[in-house]
Amino acid sequence: MCGIAGIYSHKPVAAELYDSIIHLQHRGQDAAGIMTYDDRMHKEKGMGLAKEVFNKTNMELLTGNIGISHNRYPTHGGFSHGEVQPFWTSVPYGIALAHNGNLTNYQELAEEITNKDSRYLNTNSDSEVLLHYFADLLHTNNPPEDSEEFFYLLCSAVTKIFKHVKGAYSVVSLVIGKGLVVFRDPQGIRPLVKGERSNGNGGKDYIFASENTMFYALGYEPKGTVLPGELIYVDEAGNVFNKRLVKKSFNPCIFEYVYFARPDATLNDVSVYRSRLRMGQNLSEAWKKKYPKKTPDIVIPAPSTANTAALSFAHELGVRYSEGLYKNTFIGRTFIMPGQDERKKSVKYKLVPQELEIRDKKVLILDDSIVRGNTSREIVRMLKDFGAKEVYFAVACPPVKSPCFYGVDMPTKEELIAGNMNENEIENYLDVDALLYQKIDDLVEAVTRKGDHHIDTPCMACLDGNYIANDIDDDKIAQMEAMRVNDRNGK
């Protein structure tokens, strides 16, 4: 997962791009970067949190009213400084690009770019491949003079990308002398929202971002979602050109609603917070049916993504919601940290049980999802150590059985607990007195029940094994998993 933003403004954009990274920090804590342009391209990027990468001195060098930013959470490529986005190339024009997603035909594209197009790739990043592919398609002997002609060229280039580049990609890009370019893959797997703001002179400023979490702070009005298969171009004068180049089914990632997105975000015209409340409602109905005699004394969320679903779950069940696990927010989310050892170590530093809330009670833990199962097992053990009479476990997401190849850094199938155990086995492994997973239909219903959205079927490949872009078979799984393991090992 990553966070991206692109801004066209009537005033310098660097500070607003920095704020965008801060408001998207939950989507990637590994690295951050900003590129802007005026008569030249300006870039600053580095490893770590935004506040560690940027300072007054380097921010002052990021001049210009058009720019893009990126929060990195690696799903492909290594962990070095060279992999940090945005990437840029000087031919043609000077183009910079930041991308959220994962290209599933990365290797084929990389070979084509290096062998056929004689371009040099400096990293293993699929975003660098996408940049060069895009740049090559914009390279012509008769560069367009005006914005309309350039938009036609963009339409032709991005249509070819949509045809040949497989997987998930939401993209913000800047082209020197031309403006800001934004596009989203034909199935809209990764999110991309848009907003507008009056510039006080009768014109408008525009923002495009993975989530609308920074819109209020920066004064932008939400204007819905960039559609799947849509290209948007804002030229230097602020004229906006847009076209939906390809129409396929709209299959946005369901895991954004379960775990990744900030609860105050609205993605694909669906409120993340409301969808989580509905997940809790649906799960409590299922709990009452399956376990009519197992009513907990309290419901404790595994903090903090599960808080919202736990709130409505407890409300529907008529039992007390308790923050019986305190989370130290200064320690990063375990799912995001690379490396099993770090993950194992961090759980008990991250979560502190409150004994008064737990001792002699029947405790139901509600978690957003179970990925490897280690964290869940440790939580159960903690509760028992602190005197819980019985421990139940409810999960807002169905079993995660298959790896994601569309931009979420999930473990390999072998490491996914539900990829290898059935629900009874998981119940025994966690050592709980009852376990309930959300059903897939109930999760889809929770996400799509309300909102003026156009979602056909959300992507749920990690839950049902149906890789929605029709680009993954067993060989591809083996190839992608091997690349992922190599990336983790720094090869």
134 binds ligand SF4 (CB under 6 A): no
270 binds ligand SF4 (CB under 6 A): no
Cβ distance to ligand SF4 smaller for residue 170 or 284:
170
Enumerate helices (H) and strands (E) in the chain, giving the number of each.
18, 22
Contact between 282 and 293 under an 8 Å Cβ cutoff? The reply is no
Residue 190 CB, shortest distance to ligand SF4, in Å, is: 7
C-alpha to C-alpha distance for 424 and 434, rounded to whole angstroms = 10
2 binds ligand SF4 (CB under 6 A): no
418 binds ligand SF4 (CB under 6 A): no
Residue 301 CB, shortest distance to ligand SF4, in Å, is: 21
| DSSP codes, 439-475 | PHHHHHHHHHSSSS---SS-B-HHHH---TTS---HH
Q: What angle separates helix 374-385 from helix 340-350, to the nearest 10 degrees?
A: 30
Alpha-carbon distances of 175 from 17, 285, 372, rounded to whole Å: 17, 52, 42
Catalytic residue among 2, 397, 404, 459: 2
* Window of 83-91, 155-163, 340-348, 458-466 that interacts with ligand SF4 by CB under 6 A: 458-466
Site for ligand SF4 in 311-350 (CB under 6 A): none
Rama region for 219: left / alpha / beta (φ>0; ψ in -120 to 50; rest): left
Q: Token pair of 38, please?
A: 């005026």
31 binds ligand SF4 (CB under 6 A): no
Cβ distance to ligand SF4 smaller for residue 102 or 147:
102
Number of residues located near ligand SF4, criterion CB under 6 A:
11
The residue written with tokens 């005033």 in the block is: 11
* Window of 77-85, 135-143, 427-435, 456-464 that interacts with ligand SF4 by CB under 6 A: 456-464
C-alpha to C-alpha distance for 152 and 398, rounded to whole angstroms = 44
Residue 255 CB, shortest distance to ligand SF4, in Å, is: 4
Residue 71 CB, shortest distance to ligand SF4, in Å, is: 17
Q: Is 155 a catalytic residue?
A: no
* Window of 214-222, 249-257, 329-337, 448-456 that interacts with ligand SF4 by CB under 6 A: 249-257
* Coil, strand or helix at 393: strand
Site for ligand SF4 in 345-404 (CB under 6 A): 404
Q: Burial level of 356, CB count in 10 A (0-12/13-18/19+)?
A: exposed
Host H or E run for residue 44 = strand 41-47
Residue 136 CB, shortest distance to ligand SF4, in Å, is: 27
Of 207, 103, 92, which Cα lies nearest the Cα of 139?
A: 92
Contact between 193 and 226 under an 8 Å Cβ cutoff? The reply is yes
* Window of 25-33, 56-64, 227-235, 455-463 that interacts with ligand SF4 by CB under 6 A: 455-463
* Coil, strand or helix at 225: strand
State which of residues 37, 255, 313, 437 lies at the interface with ligand SF4 (CB under 6 A).
255
State which of residues 137, 461, 480, 483 lies at the interface with ligand SF4 (CB under 6 A).
461
279 binds ligand SF4 (CB under 6 A): no
State which of residues 165, 408, 416, 444 lies at the interface with ligand SF4 (CB under 6 A).
408
C-alpha to C-alpha distance for 88 and 76, rounded to whole angstroms = 18
Of 418, 300, 297, 321, which Cα lies nearest the Cα of 369?
A: 418
State which of residues 397, 462, 472, 480 lies at the interface with ligand SF4 (CB under 6 A).
462
The residue written with tokens 């890009």 in the block is: 173
**x/- string (CB under 6 A) for ligand SF4, residues 180-199?**
---------x----------
State which of residues 103, 109, 138, 254 lies at the interface with ligand SF4 (CB under 6 A).
254
Q: CB neighbours of 447 closer than 8 A, spacing ≥ 6?
A: 254, 257, 270, 275, 278, 455, 458
C-alpha to C-alpha distance for 188 and 228, rounded to whole angstroms = 4
Of 490, 290, 298, which Cα lies nearest the Cα of 383?
A: 298
State which of residues 158, 270, 416, 459 lies at the interface with ligand SF4 (CB under 6 A).
459
250 binds ligand SF4 (CB under 6 A): no
* Window of 72-80, 348-356, 436-444, 453-461 that interacts with ligand SF4 by CB under 6 A: 453-461
Cβ distance to ligand SF4 smaller for residue 124 or 170:
170
Give 231's strand partners: 183, 243
Cβ distance to ligand SF4 smaller for residue 101 or 195:
101
Residues acting as catalytic residues: 2
Binding site for ligand SF4 (CB under 6 A): 189, 253-255, 404, 406, 408, 459-462
